[in-house]
């Protein structure tokens, strides 16, 4: 058995070698492979569920929480869902090979860009076994090889899924080695993987804040970080208050455990007295707890329909991922902008306003991946934005920002078509 | 006087604060500032030359080479040239504010992207004082604040230039603090600067391979590396040999000291005997030395018009930056592709061929920033490619590849314009 370092290096090298062939694989073969993977996932359901039961049993024995166990669990319906997602990716347009910004220079040279895969994508992720399939097919479709490192707690499920993908893809004509899965659960493997700058072109961490931070700080190659969303909705003095209540309710309640859910409500002092009781009553019915600044608390304390408690400094800039929201009364749009600048995570920020200048100022000045006027931040999502599938949501500024689709797993090369031109 | 850490941190913070205002500065003000900088550089020529004389004298005393001293030297003509370059940047279109890929979703939400500056650009560079002006105006035009750290050997010149830029820009309406210059020549400053991930969004190293490597390995924030070019030209068996000779001659001789100059000639065995003596005679007139593999040496050794010596393993993959080229005879296009894959630096690679399939295969399979058919690699340049001005040439795949213009100093944010939409 190879040592930790060896397994990682051998597999990274194999992925790099495969990536060179994969870069020019036809869309037809890639789609054929994806559809065959979808079929095989359903066909091999029994094997997958058997592996998943091992993980589930071990997780239960180790005292894993019900929520974690639920994330780990696979069943017939979930496997069907995963297979359906694979078919969705197969149906998406292939970003590779697109030629763009092509022009003819005065000397007759044709110069432009051609879209090409990045090469090898490293994925480091936790618990949910569907990520194994998800990332693999997004990489294959975009012509990238992939090196998978899932969480220890799902290793049997991930391994079973990876084997299916590897075998089916190879049979369909995908170069051998295009999908690499690290079997060893030794934590040192992640560290080793993050050093493979010569073989891995980009690392995508998917999981909790700690994992993302660890990968960002230790990777020798570029990393796409994201998924941490401290999202504000600012209700301007000119807001349509019914709209503002519906937007805030949706952003907080529709799915509170995800990154684009609302964390803090900022409300202009002029409308706070009419707006806060209204929205609080609605939020109260959904059992939302409000952590309020002094002025908001004064307005909301008398209400019995909502749990309103004093906010502490920690509540500002906190991603709650639960039915909790911070509430602050501000005296101006500028104060709201400053608060967002200070406490936001650069994910999704919204204003509710009927004032044209306020809307424009908010759009211009908020420095975040997604800036909204009069809509729920819950729309920040590759599917909702029309990208078809989503690799993740980047909160960094480099390369890609916001929801990342297949195109964000590619780069370009300049191509220059001449007829003997030399530089004078 | 503040300590090294303090100077860097204070200035990085100030740059970050300025960048927020700069992001929404109008094109008119930015252009006004650039044109005023150009005027003032010419107007303050005496001060600049006085500072430059200090650097020059110290450099001479320290035993700096003639080439290095020449790079350091400013004179009336060079200052005019620098001012002219600033006017060129002023005349370029402003990339900031462009809205693109905007579409209306079925629910009426308008979703698209808006181009915005990256924030704060850190520049770490060597010797040539013109880089101080060059990088500053490219950053200002693209709405970015900039933190400059030039080489010790040019500190008086750089400081004088930076002061002019700072004063003139501020008077023209650019936010105070947008251009930061590190006065201390303590080497520790660079290390400190590379840790300022919270304030500096991107670092661009400009200088030799050692500097670039140091920055890439030590920066906590993204880095755009590049400028190292090991460039091949492959002469296919179907090449028009006269064209091939002109292209190789131009790529090697027109300016041998730059990154897009030719380093190695690969020639197909079927045409080696007719091609190599022809191109060698031309190269010989320009005093080019050829480092040949066995087969090439056998053909070229009898010629008296060229210095042909045996190549060593070190010659493959070497950036000569001089009138030297490596020469290798290959048996196939595939062998040429393998050689380029192994020894190329991902900068610029060319094929000379009249064979359509060979041209297409080369374009598809070479993994480099710029891939050429039938033209000199010397065209790899922002100006030549029509970008107007060039920040540098990236040989990495992430964010930007090849010549980088103003647009490559920007990112985007998603903007979402709604009328009360919530997610079902």
Query: Which stretches within A286-369 are classed as H helix?
Result: 294-300, 333-343, 356-365
Measured CA to CA, the distance from residue A288 to residue A282 in angstroms comes to 9
Residue A306 pLDDT exceeds 70: yes
Is A380 an interface residue toward B (CB < 8 Å)?
yes
Measured CA to CA, the distance from residue A159 to residue B4 in angstroms comes to 51
Is A415 an interface residue toward B (CB < 8 Å)?
yes
Each residue's pLDDT tens digit, A242-288: 999 999 999 999 999 999 999 999 999 999 999 999 999 999 999 99
Tell me which chain A residues have a C-beta less than 8 angstroms from the C-beta of B204: none
The ipTM value here is 0.93
The shortest C-alpha distance from A75 to chain B (Å) reads 26
**Token pair of B375, please?**
């033209």
Tell me which chain B residues have a C-beta less than 8 angstroms from the C-beta of A109: 375, 379
Measured CA to CA, the distance from residue B387 to residue B394 in angstroms comes to 14
Pick the residue from chain B with its C-alpha nearest to A220: B217
Tell me which chain B residues have a C-beta less than 8 angstroms from the C-beta of A414: 369-371, 380, 385, 401-403
Query: Which stretches within B62-208 are classed as H helix?
Result: 66-72, 76-91, 130-141, 155-172, 188-193
Q: Note whether A79 and A95 are within 8 A (CB).
A: no
Domains by residue range for chain B, with CATH: 4-226 (3.40.605.10), 231-378 (3.40.309.10)
Q: Note whether A229 and A319 are within 8 A (CB).
A: yes
What is the pTM assigned to this prediction?
Answer: 0.92
H or E element in which residue B219 lies? none
Q: Note whether B420 and A243 are within 8 A (CB).
A: yes
Tell me which chain A residues have a C-beta less than 8 angstroms from the C-beta of B376: 421-423
Measured CA to CA, the distance from residue B61 to residue B15 in angstroms comes to 35
Each residue's pLDDT tens digit, A31-81: 999 999 999 999 999 999 999 999 999 999 999 999 889 989 999 999 999
pLDDT of residue B5: 59
> CA B167 from chain center: how many Å?
27
Pick the residue from chain B with its C-alpha nearest to A245: B420
CA-nearest of B316, B328, B335 to B267 is: B328
Question: Which of B99, B417, B423 to probe the A interface (max A CBs under 10 A)?
Answer: B423
The shortest C-alpha distance from B152 to chain A (Å) reads 29
**Tens place of pLDDT for every residue, chain B, 424 residues?**
445 558 999 999 999 999 999 999 999 999 999 999 999 999 999 999 999 999 999 999 999 999 889 989 999 999 999 999 999 999 999 999 999 999 999 999 999 999 999 999 999 998 789 999 999 999 999 999 999 999 999 999 999 999 999 999 999 999 999 999 999 888 899 999 999 999 999 999 988 888 988 998 889 888 988 778 999 999 999 999 999 999 999 999 999 999 999 999 999 999 999 999 999 999 999 999 999 999 999 999 999 989 999 999 999 999 999 999 999 999 999 999 999 999 999 999 999 999 999 999 999 999 999 999 999 999 999 989 988 888 889 999 999 999 999 999 999 999 999 999 999 9
Residue whose entry in the numeric block shows the structure tokens 């017939």: A76
- Out of B23, B240, B420, name the one closest to residue A247 (CB): B420
* Contact at CB, B402 and A416, closer than 8 angstroms: no
CA-nearest of A289, A242, A296 to A263 is: A289
Is A367 an interface residue toward B (CB < 8 Å)?
yes
- Out of B254, B374, B421, name the one closest to residue A418 (CB): B374
The shortest C-alpha distance from B415 to chain A (Å) reads 5
């Amino acid at each position: 058995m190879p040592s930790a370092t060896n397994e990682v290096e051998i597999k990274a090298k194999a992925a790099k070698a495969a990536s060179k062939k994969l870069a020019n694989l036809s869309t037809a073969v890639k789609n054929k492979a994806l559809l065959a993977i979808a079929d095989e996932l359903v066909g091999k359901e029994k094997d997958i569920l058997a592996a998943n039961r091992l993980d589930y049993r071990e997780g239960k024995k180790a005292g894993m929480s019900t929520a974690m166990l639920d994330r780990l669990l696979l069943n017939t319906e979930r496997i069907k869902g995963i297979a359906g997602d694979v078919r969705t990716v197969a149906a998406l347009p292939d970003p590779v090979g697109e030629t763009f910004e092509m022009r003819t220079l005065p000397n007759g040279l044709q110069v432009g860009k051609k879209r090409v895969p990045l090469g090898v994508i490293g994925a480091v992720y936790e618990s949910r076994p569907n990520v194994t399939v998800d990332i693999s097919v997004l990489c294959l479709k975009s012509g990238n090889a992939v090196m998978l490192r899932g969480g220890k707690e799902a290793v049997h499920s991930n391994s079973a899924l990876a084997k299916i993908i590897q075998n089916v893809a190879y049979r369909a004509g995908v170069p051998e080695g295009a999908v690499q899965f690290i079997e060893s659960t030794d934590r040192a493997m992640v560290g080793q993987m993050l050093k493979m700058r010569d073989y891995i072109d980009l690392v995508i961490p998917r999981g909790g804040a700690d994992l993302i931070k660890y990968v960002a700080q230790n990777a020798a190659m570029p990393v796409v970080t994201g998924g941490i969303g401290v999202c504000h909705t600012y209700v301007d003095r000119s807001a349509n208050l019914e709209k503002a209540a519906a937007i805030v309710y949706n952003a907080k309640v529709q799915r509170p455990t995800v990154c684009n859910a609302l964390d803090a409500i900022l409300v202009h002092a002029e409308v706070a007295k009419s707006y806060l009781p209204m929205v609080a009553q609605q939020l109260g019915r959904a059992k939302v707890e409000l952590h309020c600044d002094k002025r908001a608390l004064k307005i909301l304390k008398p209400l019995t329909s909502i749990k309103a408690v004093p906010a502490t400094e920690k509540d500002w800039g906190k991603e709650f991922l639960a039915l909790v929201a911070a509430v602050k009364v501000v005296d101006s749009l500028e104060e709201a902008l400053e608060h967002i600048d200070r406490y936001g995570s650069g994910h999704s920020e919204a204003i509710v306003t009927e004032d044209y200048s306020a809307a424009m100022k908010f759009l211009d000045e908020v420095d975040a991946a997604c800036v909204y006027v009069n809509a729920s931040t819950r729309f920040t999502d590759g599917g909702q934005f029309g990208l078809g599938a989503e690799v993740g949501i980047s909160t960094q500024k480099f390369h890609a920002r916001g929801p990342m689709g297949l195109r964000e797993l590619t780069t370009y090369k300049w191509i220059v078509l001449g007829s003997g031109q030399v530089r004078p």
